[in-house]
Structure 1
Amino acid sequence: MSTISWNCRGLGTPWAVQFLKEIVLQKKPNFIFLCEILCKKDKVESIRNLLGFEGMVTVESQGHSGGVAFLWRNKEEASLRSLSKNHIDLDITIQGWQRFRLTGLYGEPDRAKHKETWQLIRNLSTTSSLPWVLIGDMNNVLSQTDKKGGRMYPSWLIQGFKEVLEDCNLVDMELIGYPYTWERGHDTDDWVEIRLDRAVASTSFLQQFQEAKLTNMEVTTSDHCPLLLEPMVTIKSGTFTKRFRFENAWLREPMCKSIVEDIWNNSTGKSWQEKIIACSNNLAVWGKEITGSFRDRIQNCKKVIKIVRGRRDEASIKLYQEECTKLSEIYV
């Protein structure tokens, strides 16, 4: 069970929708929170259908700014508690799990209005005692180390946000991966990077999901990176036998067919079960090298996507689409 949060800076472009398709294909999240959707409900509805999700709540953008949406895979797993132009608050009920709250939050971008976001968090904290996690673009930082480049972040904003989390007994979750989630002026003298996107959780949530992790997905078509929240992470320990798993992407490699044909044709007298075991063993050894190649290819695709993101010329758009297609061929 996982959640993706992304300030997409508009869902009206084909490359934003394509990118969302790719990360859903790769990470298979149960929930997606989107902010600054910059579109109407019918556009989000079409994306929900495209992704094959059943549940959706949308607060449409106001003019040429804002807008938030929550999508979830199985309709019965979430119910709406409250919403506004800056948040969507859900109750999550999944069979075999304790109920909890999942809130998508879009903090006021105007620093003069940050206190409104802080008050919203305080108000939400009083409405339920369920384990609670908030995720999104909170447009605030907790220390000067959350910012690289540019002027010092105003100390009163840092202190104010800290006090909100303390008053509401919320803990800032550690971010795995690149430490900044938003940037401006990439590769220029005015390059600024800030961790504006984050997840904060109640102690009861962290006690319930002790292996939870928050990851910066880094690559994006927006100026914000998507975050991946995984409340339950399986940690392997002790001695175990690793099961063979066939990767669909291997089907595009000619060598895969050759390995299977050679074993099947040269195993005279062996049962079909023995042939399958032999195929599994040989594919597992060969697959380690191929999987490593997949990782290299994925990283190369991501590098190109990061370079061309935000560009609007025809060549950049075409290159972005080609790299996304490569990623989908690897992940499927």
Structure 2
Amino acid sequence: MEAWNMLRELSVASELPWCILDDFNDIVSLEEKRGGKQQPRRLMEGFWDAIMDYGLHDLGFTGDIFTWDRSRGTYKWVQERLDRGMATQQWMNMFLLAEVTVLEVTTSDHLPLMLQLHRKVFEKRRCRFKFENIWIGEREYRNIVQECWRQDGERDLMEKIMSCSLKLEEWGGGLIREMKVQIGKYRKEMQRYRSRRDTFEIQKYDAARWQFIRLLEKQEIFWRQRAKQFWLREGDRNSSFFHKYATTRKEHNKIKKLKDKHGEWKEENAEIQEVITKYFTELFSSVKDSMRLSPRIKFPVISDIQKEKLVTPIADEEVKAVVFAMHSDMVLIA
């Protein structure tokens, strides 16, 4: 009844298009419940009438039909579709590609819903080498490093590091892609066996759940490294925070548009590059010309003591002190 009252309040609050995703604690048909006592027909019909009266349509879903369960694996096991997404026809006309997905979690008796309004198109770009912390937990990681170090023989340090980074990138890039595939694989296995009541299939669900949790821990390390939030600890189940922070940080660091010297905004990548190139070309040209036209400019002269410090070789202890003072997730870029 609370869900019905909430829908009534929302429907009269505004005439704008709207949608809602929530735990309504009600079902509309017998197919949306398994186990336990049969839902009274008057409650199902009442909830359905409320949906129709307020001009709402079920958005459907992909994933498991049952979004809530209790007493899994016992004779009291109950499953219901208590969570759903609904919207007005006006809203559905605005977002024709909207899709509700039932996700998998291991920390709640409710499965969360994710609403996607449209699919985002990602632009591929070249990236420099990045060491991934999740590699450290893999057996192959140590073998690759040791093999690279032995095979490269008498090559200098930087050449060995370069060779090792190339092989790690080749191996590790596939590992990250495989991690995403495996997460999807075990999520589907959990969905497949979630409602099965055979003892063997319950064991299959538990095994998939264990693998799923292990992969989520890796995913947490992956996003934590990109979020640069060093004050948080691994194991705090902060994956969503790390992902959100890393995504926000990436968007913040991205140049989306620039204004040229004529005051016009440029948004295409080629135009942005042209604005940057022209700006610095003209800047350094003007500096060079001003220096040539101003022979009286006098630059500060360093002292002999300062000169001696500048040419003094850098000691190994100084390098070690700087490197060891850095956080483990920070990197040096040569």
TM-score norm. by structure 1 comes to 0.45
Higher strand share: 1
TM-score norm. by structure 2 comes to 0.45
Larger Rg, first or second structure (1 or 2): 2
Q: Which has the higher contact order (CA 8 A, sep 6+)?
A: 1
